[in-house]
Structures are given as structure tokens and as C-alpha cells.
Structure 1
Amino acid sequence: MKNSIQTSNTLQNESQTEQEIKNMVRQKYEKVALQDKALNASSCCGTTNSSTEVYNIMSEKYDNLNGYNSDADLGLGCGLPTQFAQITKGDTVLDLGSGAGNDCFVARAETGETGKVIGIDFSPTMLKKARQNADKLGYNNVEFREGDIETMPISDNSVDVIVSNCVLNLVPNKKAVFKEMYRTLKDDGHFSISDIVLLGNLPKALQEDAEMYAGCVSGAIQKEDYLNFIKEVGFENITLQKEKAIFIPDDILQKYLSESEIREFRNGQTGVFSITVFAQKNPSSESIKKEIIQEQKSVCSPSSGCC
């Protein structure tokens, strides 16, 4: 245990390479893939101790969406990106960090038998579960590939829609992922991704802990920086489709912070948020008009009661 704590405390030191961080996340998600969904949902992305105060800390309910499959839902998401992704029949859809296949199967319900869905994940155990689920469902147009989303095994200009659910916050080089998304999307293609972002700085103990990194918290970056990366890569029509504050329960924070530090964290200027972001690659004038209409219909606002 002492060695584990020492490793956690050096997570974001300069000596820690990006590859070491990726290996740590992969190892933890190999274990998460075999855990009970209830444990994943009541912890920070399945990697921290579970909470007795809050059941769904980050995850949202998928069971009202077409294509939902309970076997593929591990309770690891922080949004519902496929709900906002504007997938149409015949689209090729790419899911980054596809896990056991949850978002892929929801996307498949939208793109239909004439479309194609590709999931990428770097966990062999997750990929095995996803492929087993696809086989049980009899889907021959859903494919799962092992790979790193910073260097995707996907051809240039080949994808219509990209979705991702609470994954980019686990990646050290987030801008590299956005560049890969831009490369693989067709002109007029778009993405809708849910992720964790910050406003203000986390306490040092949370920033440096390996479990909180894999738990989608300490790996998150500032909301402004996140949105700027998307813009710098070249995406247009960047739209915040949904934003929700994430409450980390005291019984989880107590593992990392003292009582006084928890009070300071609660009363300070730091916020942890789930956001769902939409953006397009080289949009045509026609698609811009369509997006304006769709946005008027689907944006989650405080007045709608869903934020």
C-alpha cells in the first residue's frame, strides 16, 4: 500500500512519462472491466472507493435510448453523447474509448444496418467484453479495434460522426486526440463528446493521485483550455450541448483530503463539470443551417430542467 501511495504522489511529476500514465490507466481499466456496474457508478469512474452518499456520481441513465444494452453499460460515462450526436441512417460512427460497447450499440440503433460503427479501446479485457456483446446481439456492422486514440487505427477522412464518453480526460495529450479526430472525420463531419473539465485548480492531493487520474478527475483540464484545443485544431461551430456540475462525495474525498481541506474545496472557486461538446470539420453552408435548427431543438438549458 505504501508503494502504491508513493506511486500516486509522483503521478504528475516531470519524471512520469505519458506512456507510464497510459499504462497505469490501462491496468486500472482492465480491473474496472470486471467490476460490478454498481461499484463503478458509485465511485469515480470505477477506480476509487465507492460512496455510500451518492450512487451515480458521474454516470447518466441510458436505458431510455434505443439500442441500449445493459450488458454493455458498465456505468463509466459522464454524459449521453450519442443522444446529442445527430447520427443519421448510413453514417459511419467512431466511438473513442468504447469500453464494453454501450455507446456503439446506441449509435448502431441510429445509423441502422446500412451504417457502420467502430469502437476503439486500449484495454484487451474491455474489447473482449464488447465483441462478446456484439456477437450476442448479432451485429455484423459494429467493429471493435484495439488502439490508442492519440494515434487511431482509422483512415483519413473516413468517419461521419465521432462520439466519446468520459475518455479524453484520461489521455495525457488531449490536443493530439483532437488532431486525430480532425484527421479521421470527413469534411462536414462532426463530433459530440462528453468529458470532465475543471474551473479552478484541484487540491494538490487530488491532482497527484493515480486513482483520481483514472477516476476522470485529476486528468481533467480547465474548461477554457479544453475548448481552445478544439478551436486550435480547426473545428468550427463549437457548441456546448450540455453542462452538469459533478459532486464528489465527502466519503471519497476523505481518502485524499483532511476535513479542513474538504471544507476549503467545497467553499472555494473550484468546480468539476461534465460537458458535452459538439463541433464540425469544414462545414458546408447547408450543414450550418441544419446545425442551427438542431441546436434550437436539442440544447440542454437550465429552463429545460436537465442541466
Structure 2
Amino acid sequence: MSKQYTDEEIRQQVTNFYDNIASGKTSTKVKSIDLYKSLGYDPNLLQKIPEEVSSGLSCGNPLDNLVLKDTDTLLDLGCGMGLDVFMARITYPNSNTIYGMDRLESMIQKASKVRDKKGFKNIEFVQGELIDMPFEDNSIDKIISNCVINLEPNKQKVYQEIHRILKPNGMFIISDITLKKQLNDDILSLDNIYGS
């Protein structure tokens, strides 16, 4: 029988794993640029992205379906070190504010440092939880999420928060992983199954 983790234990496993990525203590086993190309990211745009934000953590390309008007605000949930935020800003240099939100201070600090160093304008990085987003009701035009919601045990609350902060007729673009069937007990009993 597999161990049953509480929601907080799952969140702590996720925090530990991604803090180790941000600090450089661990890394993914893939070459980031190859992963991004396989997911459909524009190779020419990837060359404009600071290398320090390429962590190889994506599982899709939510930007592929994104169109921003100059008046649109965008929020990237679980932005990590800011890859999709920076890609969106390069693609839509005149759009309204682009926000990146992550639960980890270490990720927000790294993304903010890159933004400041490279002179990206009208980008804000904020620390926040998927289940308690630090945004006003009906305040965001478009939201993207790249391989993040699967990491939060209370997915219903995440979707309620997305609905709360999206403006009427807003858009949510998700790229994530799902299971086709239940994982077996051998896999579920692995240490840090939820953080990796």
C-alpha cells in the first residue's frame, strides 16, 4: 500500500524539488533548448532568452495559442525563472503588464534579477499560491500555465481562483500533464513522487 501524503506534505515536496532547481543543487536530465524546441517554441525567440532562465521544466507551450492585444494583461502561473514571461514580452513588446507568479521566493528572485539585468520592461514577478492568488477579482485578461497545476493537490481551488481573477471574456491557456490511469503502489511509494 502506498503512503498517503497530506496536501501540505505534497506542497513541501514540490517546494523542496523546485528550490533545489533554483539553487542549482539539482537539474533536469534534459537539455533545455532541445526540450523547448520539441514543444514548439520558436528557435529564433529562444536565442533571445537569457540562458539562466532555461531550466527544462516545461511540458508544453501555452504561448502557441496566445495572442495579446496592447491593452491585455497576462499572468503566468508558476512562472519559475520566467521563461514564458520573457518569451511573451519579446513576442508582444507593447502589451500591458505581464505578471509571473510563483510560490517560491527563490524563483521570483532569479526571474526578477534577470528582468532587471536584461532591461525587460513592464514585467512584474510576484510570490503567491495557486490556491490564494494575490490579484484582485476580474483583474487579468489572459492567464497561462505550463506544467504547474498538476503539482497542486487542490486543483478545484486553483480553477476557482483562475475564474475569480480573470476578467469577463478572459482566456486561460493551460499546458499540463494528466494521468490516463492510476499509478501503481511501487511508483506512489517513491520518495518525493510529488516533487519530481
Fold conserved (TM > 0.5)? yes
Q: Tell me if 1:60 matches 2:36.
A: yes
The alignment partner of 2:89 has SS state of helix
Partner of 2:12: 23
> 1:98 is paired with a residue of what secondary structure?
coil
Alignment correspondent of 2:179: 198
Q: Aligned to 2:116, what secondary structure does the other structure show?
A: helix
Separation of aligned partners in 1, 2:126 and 2:73: 15
**Structure 1 contact 95–103 (Cα < 8 Å) conserved:** yes
Give, in whole Å, the separation in 1 of the partners of 2:154 and 2:97: 28
Q: CA deviation at 1:111?
A: 3.4
* Larger radius of gyration between Structure 1 and Structure 2: 1
Return the match for 1:40 from 18, 28, 45.
28
User: Shift of the alpha carbon at 1:92?
Assistant: 0.3
- What's the secondary structure of 2:172's corresponding residue? strand
Is 1:160 aligned to 2:149, yes or no?
A: no
**Structure 1 counterpart SS, 2:192:** helix
Select which of 155, 161, 165 maps to 1:184.
165
For 1:100 and 1:211, the matched residues in 2 are separated by: 22
Unaligned stretches of 5+ residues in structure 2: none
State the Cα distance separating 1:85 from its structure 2 match.
Answer: 2.0
Deviations 1:185-219 (A, max 9, x none): 1111101111011112222122233433222xxxx
Q: Is the 8 A contact 2:19 2:107 kept in 1?
A: yes
Structure 2 residue 94 is the aligned partner of structure 1 residue 113 = yes
**Cα pair distance change 1:141/1:21, threshold 3 Å:** same
Native 8 Å contact 2:53 2:81 kept in 1: yes
Q: Deviations over 1:221-252 (max 9, x none)?
A: xxxxxxxxxxxxxxxxxxxxxxxxxxxxxxxx
Which stretches in structure 1 are left out of the alignment for 5+ residues? 1-8, 43-54, 216-307
1:186 match: secondary structure: strand
Counterpart amino acid of residue 11 in structure 2 = K
Structure 1 65/190 Cα, relative in aligned 2: closer, same or farther at 3 Å?
Answer: farther
Give identity over the alignment, percent.
36
Q: Does the 8 Å CA contact 1:59/1:79 hold for their aligned counterparts? A: no
Amino acid at match of 2:23: L
Counterpart residue type for residue 40 of structure 1: T
